[in-house]
Chain A
Amino acid sequence: MAKVAVVGAGIIGLSTALEIQKQIPKCQVTLISEKFTPDTTADGAAGIFGLYLLGSTQPDRQVVWAKKTHDLIESWWKTPMCGEMGIALVSCSRMNHSPVPPIWKDVVFGVREMSQEEVAEKGRLTGEHTSGLEMLTFTAEPVRFMPFLMKQFKDQGGEIKRAKVENFKDLFNEYDCVVNCTGVYAGSLTLDKKIKPLRGQVMRVKAPWIKTVTLDDLDDGNYVIANQESVVVGGTHQDGDWDRTPREEDKQFIRSGGKCLDPSLKDSVEVGHWVGLRPGRPEVRLERDGIDKKLVHNYGHGGSGITVFQGCAEECVDLVKEVLQEQNIAAVQAKL
């Protein structure tokens, strides 16, 4: 039986581990991670679908990943588990997005250019919005659906190891393939200098009348995203910043900008502030390692982990199959 280790149990690692189980049933998958849900990067996220902070990753590739993921989330929405998994069908308005039409226009539902009247209703801290796109899509809250995926992984015979991996070489004896899904922490395990935290601070409030999502795609933009039990107001994306403590000046930016975008926030009640470190990289690293034949990389998804995880998991499994094939692993030979 083939043995594969997936290092990192965030949304990328967990979905990759599940996809390996699905496509290579005769394979023992071990998920090794320091942190598991609800302590991973994605757990604090609002989970709105959207390609964001993926740098120069090839657009065609982004769209393929996004389509597979959106379709999967739609299938989750169509089940009774929808609510427990934190999936919601929402109207999403993206202000000042460029280019138009967006590359993802056929992935979500009903993309439409907003009228000037609609655009004018939303304010911003400085100046005005010039345009907007509105669509129907999903929010998928990782803190709610990741426990389901964990259970599925374990029920299907997956092994969990809570440990910090200091060096991938330590794993090569025991495992036929090692998949690196360490996200923002990949820099300490590889020689990759390009992976950096994109610090994101957000605030959560109670505002049950807010049922939609509004994002400002400009660099100094804010966003307001309805979740199941609270509304996420954001946010920041500070390059190279490892500080996980919510900062006062960011809170002010979030509060003021949020109220411009949605004045009804004046009646909201603050429930908390949180910081996540997005795994920022000029492009996603989804490839085999150039030196270690057993190592496959799947990290650096910027602010889009929830938007692309399924497509990336599927592409990653193709690479895992390649690795196993090279080692003449019977499990993989039989399937091809």
Chain B
Amino acid sequence: MNTNLGSIKEDDLVVVGCGVVGITTALFLQERFPNSQVKIVSGKLSPETISDVAAGIFRWTMRTPPEYESKWPQEAWAWFQNLYKESPLKTGVSKLPALFFSSYSSEQCESKVMKSVCQVYRKCTPAELNLPQPAGKFKHGIYLHTLQIDTGTYIKYLTDKFMFRGGTIIQAEIESFDEIGSKYIINCTGLGSRKLAGDREVLPIRGQVLKVEAPWIKTAMYADDVYIIPGQKYITIGGTRQYNDWHTDPEPHDTARIWDRACATFPCISKAKIVDVKVGLRPHRRHPRVEKEESNGKFIFHNYGHCSWGIMSSPATSKQVVDLVAEHFNSNKSKL
């Protein structure tokens, strides 16, 4: 494993962070700038990134910056649809029917974006509202067909492409962007941007999940705080949303609460075999930051703060940040 920061050249395009956002951005940079060296510097690599914890369901409830509202979701959806058509096995992308129940309000389950991208999107019927327990508790529901991404498989698929095209990955923790010798940095450090980019707005929303084996679960189900999301190998049961909680170890109380609530609402999950308990700190921000910054003689292109929507929005935000890089080089007429 390459840990040598010294191998970085001034003209390299260096992506910092190798979660799903980082690897996607790096791949897109390679495609846009075939004559450049694209390198990734990251402390953690898959399967140890936050992306690896996620269930990977495409459920766009993110507060998208208004100028990108009609662009990002559609681009991301099209990207994953194409990967599904290419090969669910190799890319990790599957089709997934899903039910969203709420005992509070219809707003909890509805999503304007999902209604616009999903082929199938409708309100639940009264009979369907009685699927979660107890009967009568859940008064609102939406049924739709979406996509689900097995993150480990997906990141590997992207990484293989990146390496095949001559990309380099350097595993190293940095305290400051100054440690990186290139003029161009593409910052995909998620929660790390609180320190590295000095962005005090970035805070963790802690999520604990259970990874279980339950191959009889073929449809995703959400009911208030409970969610059960099937992937190709495991089912993810969640979850928690603990604001400004930095604890990365699994908490037994959270496991118990997640499990008890899931079984009470959907007894069908009761005999699932728990295989792992994982924690991910979602990088929360009012919305993702995708913009250029000049700092200490470097050009830093930010792409961080995706909170719960990293995987699903990564193709769109990565394309957005690569557009910014291209714009920079065009306007500065630098060699590249």
Given the known inter-chain contacts A78-B267, A110-B122, A134-B120, please indicate yes or no for A209 contacting B219, CB distance below 8 A.
no
- B190 near A: Cβ within 8 Å? no
Selected contact of B232 from candidates A82, A208, A212, A228, CB within 8 Å: A208
The answer to whether B128 and A209 have CB atoms under 8 Å apart is no
- A2 near B: Cβ within 8 Å? no
- B94 near A: Cβ within 8 Å? yes
The answer to whether B216 and A88 have CB atoms under 8 Å apart is yes
- B253 near A: Cβ within 8 Å? no
Residue ID in chain B nearest A109 by CB atoms: B128
Tell me if A's interface is mostly helix, strand, loop or mixed. Answer: mixed
What is the CB-to-nearest-CB distance from A223 to chain B, in angstroms, rounded to a whole number?
16
- B324 near A: Cβ within 8 Å? no
The answer to whether A211 and B218 have CB atoms under 8 Å apart is yes
A-B contact sample (8 more), CB < 8 A, given A136-B97, A209-B232, A210-B94: A80-B270, A82-B268, A91-B145, A110-B143, A136-B219, A208-B215, A211-B218, A211-B230
Write out, one digit per residue, whether chain B residues 90-131 have a CB within 8 A of any chain A CB (1) or not (0).
Answer: 100011110000000000000000000001101011011001
- B333 near A: Cβ within 8 Å? no
Residue ID in chain A nearest B132 by CB atoms: A78
Residue total for B at the interface (Cβ-Cβ under 8 A)? 36
Residue total for A at the interface (Cβ-Cβ under 8 A)? 35
The answer to whether A208 and B233 have CB atoms under 8 Å apart is yes
Residues of B near A228 (CB, < 8 A) are 215-216
Given the known inter-chain contacts A78-B267, A80-B263, A80-B268, please indicate yes or no for A88 contacting B218, CB distance below 8 A.
yes
The answer to whether A226 and B218 have CB atoms under 8 Å apart is yes
What is the CB-to-nearest-CB distance from B206 to chain A, in angstroms, rounded to a whole number?
29
- A153 near B: Cβ within 8 Å? no
The answer to whether A115 and B90 have CB atoms under 8 Å apart is no
Complex: A134 Cα to B143 Cα, angstroms: 12
**9 sample A-B contacts, Cβ–Cβ < 8 Å, listed by A number:** A78-B131, A83-B272, A88-B217, A115-B119, A134-B120, A208-B232, A209-B95, A211-B95, A228-B215
The answer to whether B267 and A264 have CB atoms under 8 Å apart is no
- A252 near B: Cβ within 8 Å? no
The answer to whether A136 and B119 have CB atoms under 8 Å apart is no
Write out, one digit per residue, whether chain A residues 82-95 have a CB within 8 A of any chain B CB (1) or not (0).
Answer: 11101111110000
Residues of A near B233 (CB, < 8 A) are 208
Residues of B near A136 (CB, < 8 A) are 97, 128, 143, 219
A98-113 interface with B by 8 A CB criterion: 109-110, 112
The answer to whether B218 and A90 have CB atoms under 8 Å apart is yes
Q: What is A's interface to B at a CB cutoff of 8 Å?
A: 77-84, 86-91, 109-110, 112, 115, 117-118, 134, 136, 207-212, 226, 228-229, 263-264, 266-267
Write out, one digit per residue, whether chain B residues 221-245 have a CB within 8 A of any chain A CB (1) or not (0).
Answer: 0000000001011000000000000
The answer to whether A212 and B95 have CB atoms under 8 Å apart is yes
What is the CB-to-nearest-CB distance from A111 to chain B, in angstroms, rounded to a whole number?
9
Given the known inter-chain contacts A87-B216, A91-B145, A110-B125, please indicate yes or no for A209 contacting B88, CB distance below 8 A.
yes
Complex: A90 Cα to B143 Cα, angstroms: 12
Residues of B near A110 (CB, < 8 A) are 122, 124-125, 128, 143
The answer to whether A209 and B89 have CB atoms under 8 Å apart is yes
What is the CB-to-nearest-CB distance from A209 to chain B, in angstroms, rounded to a whole number?
4
Complex: A110 Cα to B90 Cα, angstroms: 33
Residue ID in chain B nearest A107 by CB atoms: B127
Complex: A264 Cα to B97 Cα, angstroms: 17
The answer to whether B218 and A89 have CB atoms under 8 Å apart is yes
Complex: A228 Cα to B270 Cα, angstroms: 16
Complex: A303 Cα to B94 Cα, angstroms: 30
Complex: A81 Cα to B133 Cα, angstroms: 15
Residues of B near A82 (CB, < 8 A) are 216, 267-268, 270-271
B132-173 interface with A by 8 A CB criterion: 133, 143, 145
Given the known inter-chain contacts A86-B216, A88-B216, A88-B218, please indicate yes or no for A211 contacting B268, CB distance below 8 A.
no
